[in-house]
Structure 1
Amino acid sequence: MTQLKNDTFLRALMREPVDYTPVWMMRQAGRYLPEYRATRAKAGSFMDLCRSPELACEVTLQPLDRFPLDAAILFSDILTVPDAMGLGLYFAEGEGPNFERPVRTEADIDRLPIPDPEGELKYVMDAVSVIRRELDGRVPLIGFSGSPWTLATYMVEGGSAKNFSHTKAMMFDRPDLLHRLLTKVADSVTSYLNAQIARGAQAAMIFDTWGGALAPAHYREFSLAYMKRVMDGLTREAEGRRVPVILFTKNGGQWLADMADTGCDALGVDWTTDLADARRMVGDRVALQGNLDPCTLYASPERIREEVARVLESYGKGPGHVFNLGHGITPDVNPENAGAMIEAVHELSRPYHA
């Protein structure tokens, strides 16, 4: 494998000294970029874009060709895993993702296979290989998956949901069934991430988008415990160096100390938790990633710069900070504003590492 020309992101995740705070953006390959929209139109559909390793590589690299980002993230979707479990993923216009066959019964759970990453999900692994080759060591590549709890909510609800009524009904009435489902999903996520690492992903991120919808006791039992199960099964060394793992629970600021106990290397923090508070909660156990409010990018470049300065100051001096948005970049943001954020991070963060 080609030697990395910029490993600032990986060193920051390991809390090693760096010259500046590295930056990348969740959903950095996405609809806010006109070049992404052109490639998406060429692909024909979102899933056709995901299933083409060459096109997935093309859109992964587009933001790096435009901005001096410090990491690339695999272009894919968290629902590739349940799709490979035979649930019939489809996207309805204006509705988001849906499954033809939601998982509601004991028989539904028993039927679920653990997908072969080099079988049903080979298109994702091929994309990782193509992206690593085309990056040619420019920056590290992040692989990712949804968390077991988050994936399970889509599988049980049959798509997006506001109240998670089916999933929570199963949680309260048949916790044994939900635990069986989560075990199967966690084992699928583990093999999926390990296959990405084997193909060349240099860091991994677990997106727990819906963990924040749970009460504290239920979060620990049904979300955090299964992220810990994934963590325990992951390959943590590849190509002669550590493969750092980032956990991110949206609206999970109150659980950061518990999350740090899983053995992860870094925690994503959304914009509802101040980084100074987060740092006090976790001490020097893990790095922190975040956490500019994505809506800041609707503001003027001058105001964006002020907010970047505020986030950097909230983390303070020393290693262990990766700058990011507190959630994904929104589709109608002006790309120039994203560029202003990235430029401000690189410039304003240097005194914090002097």
Structure 2
Amino acid sequence: MITPSPARRRLTRAPFLDAVAGRTPTRTPVWFMRQAGRSLPEYREIRAGVGMLESCFRPDLLTEITLQPVRRHDVDAAILFSDIVVPLKAAGVGVDIVPGRGPVMDHPVRTRADVDALPVLEEPVAEVGEGISGILDGLRDDQVLIGFAGAPFTLASYLVEGGPSKNHRHTKALMHTEPETWHALMERLVPTVTAFLSGQIAAGVDAVQLFDSWAGYLSEYDYREHVLPYSRRIFEAVAGAEIPRIHFGVTTGELLADMAQAGPEVVGVDWRVPLDRAAERIFRAAGPKVLQGNLDPALLFAGPDVVRAEVERIRAAARRAVDEGYATGHIFNLGHGVLPETPAEAVTEAVRIVHETD
């Protein structure tokens, strides 16, 4: 069990933490997934000639890239600049991020022998811890830092497929034809994800998010049988840290109730499900949770009038969920990440709109 970190700041006026605790924040907290990245010219400049994974292991770049959108957009939370496969790379797995494609493994993991040979991350990643220290120095005391890790299923899918997949056919086939091998793979990934998060917690992050990118490709049965137990174990492992835990996946509207049962305080909702409807699904399975979301990232291209109308609609849905007792708070976010082509000014304007509509 992970315990509270002495490095963690004691924040008393952070809107993000107030929303999680069910208090009325001074302003609606807002941050965006992928707020650090290709939508920022300063990011493209600092990353010139530097590989994605190299950036994640260089404390100076890790710090600067994480802080860039906080300075530019005045968001209420920084999200650690990282990638889902960073803990695999740190453990010794042969993986690289290929431009235009994504994470690609040297060798797919498809047999029990492959699983048994898979390296396990046993220690915190020192470079990440050093970067977190620099990030915390650059934040105001009303801004939080969210740690980040990919969930075991998403990591397993990259490993089994050998890279990104449109249908996850090898993953699903292994899950059903060799369930013992599948469960052995998930068992092997849990300590790697836990170690990666525990290192971030020890370094002082204020919250953590477990991101299951590909869970939305699963049926309810497959998620409950083959995925949920392992995500739950990770949330249980970090519960003693006494910081907010967030769970998010893409196209997971039908899985929200199950994902909430993994144990997070905050459940992220993509743009396909209205927040009040999502809250009711979550409530009936796991009681009231804090909602996070859920503006469609594409609407940042539609101009401030459209964004303002959507912000008001989303906030009204969140208020209904709270008033009906189905949710305890709301953190504004996108329903997925900032698209790379998004004008940086549009992101700044969206944050301003969220704050001004309080």
Letter in 2 for 1:259: M
**C-alpha deviations, 1:23-69, integer Å up to 9, x for none?**
0000010100000101111x622122111111110011111111111
Counterpart CA distance in 2 for 1:79 and 1:182 is: 15
Match of residue 60 from structure 1: 66
Q: Which moved more, 1:11-20 or 1:207-216?
A: 11-20
Q: Which moved more, 1:96-105 or 1:198-207?
A: 96-105
Match of residue 30 from structure 2: 23
Counterpart CA distance in 1 for 2:345 and 2:138 is: 25
Letter in 1 for 2:244: P
Match of residue 270 from structure 1: 270
Counterpart CA distance in 1 for 2:209 and 2:99 is: 28
Counterpart CA distance in 1 for 2:226 and 2:78 is: 30
1:147/1:223 contact within 8 Å kept = no
1:190/1:234 contact within 8 Å kept = yes
Matched, 1:342 2:351: yes
Q: Which moved more, 1:149-158 or 1:249-258?
A: 249-258
2:121/2:191 contact within 8 Å kept = no
- Unpaired runs of 5+ residues, structure 2, are 1-6, 323-327
- What SS does structure 2 have at the residue aligned with 1:316? helix
User: What is the aligned counterpart of 2:234 among 230, 245, 248?
Assistant: 230
Match of residue 135 from structure 2: 131
Counterpart CA distance in 1 for 2:354 and 2:240 is: 29
CA RMSD of aligned residues (A): 1.7
Matched, 1:173 2:177: yes
Q: Identity over aligned residues, as a percent?
A: 42
What TM-score results when the alignment is normalised by the length of structure 2?
Answer: 0.91
Counterpart CA distance in 2 for 1:320 and 1:256 is: 16
Counterpart CA distance in 2 for 1:236 and 1:159 is: 34
- What SS does structure 2 have at the residue aligned with 1:320? strand
Matched, 1:160 2:168: no
In structure 2, relative to structure 1, the CA distance for the partners of 1:6 and 1:37 (3 Å cut) is farther
1:194/1:235 contact within 8 Å kept = no
Q: Which moved more, 1:58-67 or 1:126-135?
A: 126-135
State the shift of 1:219 in Å. Answer: 0.9
1:205/1:248 contact within 8 Å kept = yes
In structure 2, relative to structure 1, the CA distance for the partners of 1:72 and 1:93 (3 Å cut) is closer
Matched, 1:75 2:78: no
Letter in 2 for 1:306: A
Counterpart CA distance in 2 for 1:14 and 1:103 is: 41
- What SS does structure 1 have at the residue aligned with 2:333? strand
State the shift of 1:216 in Å. Answer: 1.0
Matched, 1:103 2:112: no
Matched, 1:314 2:317: yes
State the shift of 1:221 in Å. Answer: 1.6
What is the aligned length?
A: 342
Counterpart CA distance in 2 for 1:336 and 1:210 is: 30
User: What is the aligned counterpart of 1:207 among 200, 204, 211?
Assistant: 211
State the shift of 1:136 in Å. Answer: 5.5
1:5/1:139 contact within 8 Å kept = no
**C-alpha deviations, 1:290-310, integer Å up to 9, x for none?**
000000001111111111111
State the shift of 1:235 in Å. Answer: 4.3
Counterpart CA distance in 1 for 2:91 and 2:179 is: 21
2:65/2:81 contact within 8 Å kept = yes
Counterpart CA distance in 2 for 1:337 and 1:61 is: 18
Matched, 1:246 2:263: no
Match of residue 149 from structure 1: 153
In structure 2, relative to structure 1, the CA distance for the partners of 1:69 and 1:136 (3 Å cut) is closer
Q: Which moved more, 1:154-163 or 1:309-318?
A: 309-318
Matched, 1:330 2:339: yes
Match of residue 294 from structure 1: 297
State the shift of 1:6 in Å. Answer: 4.2
Matches within 5 A, 1:2-21: 2-4=9-11, 6-21=13-28
1:114/1:188 contact within 8 Å kept = yes
2:122/2:191 contact within 8 Å kept = no
Letter in 2 for 1:225: P
2:148/2:209 contact within 8 Å kept = yes
**C-alpha deviations, 1:203-249, integer Å up to 9, x for none?**
00000110110111001122222110111111433xxxx30000112
Counterpart CA distance in 2 for 1:116 and 1:280 is: 39
Match of residue 98 from structure 2: 92
Matched, 1:282 2:282: yes
